[in-house]
Amino acid sequence: MAGLVHSYDAVQLERYLADHVPGFTTLDGFEKFAGGQSNPTYKVTSGERTFVLRAKPPGDLLASAHQVDREYRVLSALENTDVPVPRTYHLSGEQSPLGAQFFVMEFLDGRIFWDPALPELQREDRRPLFSAMNRTLAALHEVQPEAVGLANYGKPGNYFERQTDRWVRQYRASETDPQPDLEAVIAWLQANMVSDDGQVSLVHGDFRLDNLMFAPGRPEVIGVLDWELSTLGHPLADLAYQCMQWRLPNKGMLRGLAGIDRASQGLPSEREYVAEYCQRRGWSGVTNWNFYLVFSMFRLAAIVQGILHRAANGTASNPGTIDQFGPALRLLGSMARDLTETPSEVHL
């Protein structure tokens, strides 16, 4: 099986979608997209129309995880902003024909790149793609949450303190094997917590290359996808999370840019990427950079641990790649711990 899929009655689902989704008539196709470890996502065809349906996975779920209703809310709120997102059509209740809450959105026809080294592009086409990604991230952080009805989309207070507490709890709830490096990282984050500087923006939570849809033939983002982890928080969380790609090896499931001669391949360096973002935001630079990277690595490690937990319970969305997640968890722990023992970089 390509991954855990929902059971459903085709007649019942067809009737439901026809009643709730504009332009939907008959259920002619229902196919799970490959990849993904969180919320199962399906390509749904109806006559000449194509939709995307994204659902909570079946089975017992961790508290505060798989909130497709939050994804639906933020996508709907961003529809008329400078942040490109697919149009939303319908959010179901928990008691749906799939046996789980889901939402239906627009199907975008574009390009998704899985390798940040962009081997399928010519050298001169790579940097413009990164610049488009950078521009989209800056545009997201310029959105005023209250102006789009998202003033209460997150909790007040120190975002990094709150999120560290949350992800430590998530990690503990799904822990399978002891990870000494991650235990050291947890202690370091708690002992070196940054103070709240008052910056609040909408953060995506999983902003990376393969969660962006690019236009065919040009370096333009036409859709930011996978908003499950979005909230109100600090923009540096998104920036550092994306910049992990410059540190991760260009192999395995956590594919990054480490070991690649970026200049010769037409790729920006991490420092150049951060500088471009700061210029767009009108910032003079970033201090205490290592903290944000360590936080991002631990947060991703907690997510990976959750996937391993779901695999053990038989509820992983894409169990075929689970054997890669143990090494990824250990790699993130080792890299994060190394950063805690390294003088913090300053980006100016």
pLDDT of residue 2: 41
- How far is CA 30 from each of CA 5, 7, 46, 100, rounded to the nearest angstrom? 11, 11, 9, 16
Q: In the beta sheet, which residues pair with residue 213?
A: 223
Residue 60: pLDDT over 80: no
Judgement on whether residues 196 and 262 belong to the same structural domain of the protein: yes
Residue 48: pLDDT over 50: yes
| pLDDT tens column, 332-342 | 999 999 999 98
In sequence order, the 6+-apart residues with CB closer than 8 A to the CB of 135 are: 221, 280
| pLDDT tens column, 97-142 | 998 999 999 999 999 999 999 999 999 999 999 999 999 999 999 9
- Distance, in Å, from the CA atom of 231 to the CA atom of 216, rounded to the nearest integer, reads 30
pLDDT of residue 310: 79
Judgement on whether residues 176 and 246 belong to the same structural domain of the protein: yes
How many separate domains does the chain show?
Answer: 2
Judgement on whether residues 306 and 205 belong to the same structural domain of the protein: yes
Segment holding 43, helix H or strand E: strand 41-46
Residue 1: pLDDT over 50: no
Judgement on whether residues 226 and 174 belong to the same structural domain of the protein: yes
Segment holding 31, helix H or strand E: strand 29-32
Q: Which residue has the tokens 């956590």?
A: 254
Tokens representing 250 are: 């260009």
CATH of the domain at 254: 3.90.1200.10
pLDDT of residue 199: 94
Please indicate, yes or no, if residue 111 is contained in any of the structural domains: no
Judgement on whether residues 45 and 156 belong to the same structural domain of the protein: no
Judgement on whether residues 19 and 100 belong to the same structural domain of the protein: yes
- Distance, in Å, from the CA atom of 340 to the CA atom of 256, rounded to the nearest integer, reads 20
Tokens representing 108 are: 């975008």
Judgement on whether residues 274 and 137 belong to the same structural domain of the protein: yes
Please indicate, yes or no, if residue 136 is contained in any of the structural domains: yes
Q: What letter does residue 74 receive in the DSSP assignment?
A: H
- Distance, in Å, from the CA atom of 53 to the CA atom of 31, rounded to the nearest integer, reads 10
CATH of the domain at 81: 3.30.200.20
Please indicate, yes or no, if residue 200 is contained in any of the structural domains: yes
CA-CA-CA-CA torsion sign (48, 26, 19, 75)? negative
- In terms of residue numbers, what domain contains 55? 10-106
Tokens representing 113 are: 């790149």
Judgement on whether residues 303 and 195 belong to the same structural domain of the protein: yes
Most distant pair of Cα atoms in the chain: their distance? 61
Residue 164 — very low, low, confident or very high, per pLDDT cuts 50/70/90?
very high
Q: Which residue has the tokens 């890299």?
A: 335
* Contact present, 257 and 246 (Cβ < 8 Å): yes
Q: Which of these, 164, 161, 235, lies nearest to 195 by C-alpha position?
A: 161
* Higher per-residue confidence, 306 vs 86: 86
Backbone angles phi, psi at 173, to 5 degrees: -70, -20
Give the pLDDT mean for 164-177.
93
Judgement on whether residues 86 and 185 belong to the same structural domain of the protein: no
In sequence order, the 6+-apart residues with CB closer than 8 A to the CB of 48 are: none
Please indicate, yes or no, if residue 115 is contained in any of the structural domains: no
Q: Which of these, 207, 182, 175, 186, lies nearest to 307 by C-alpha position?
A: 175
| pLDDT tens column, 187-215 | 999 999 999 999 999 999 999 999 999 99
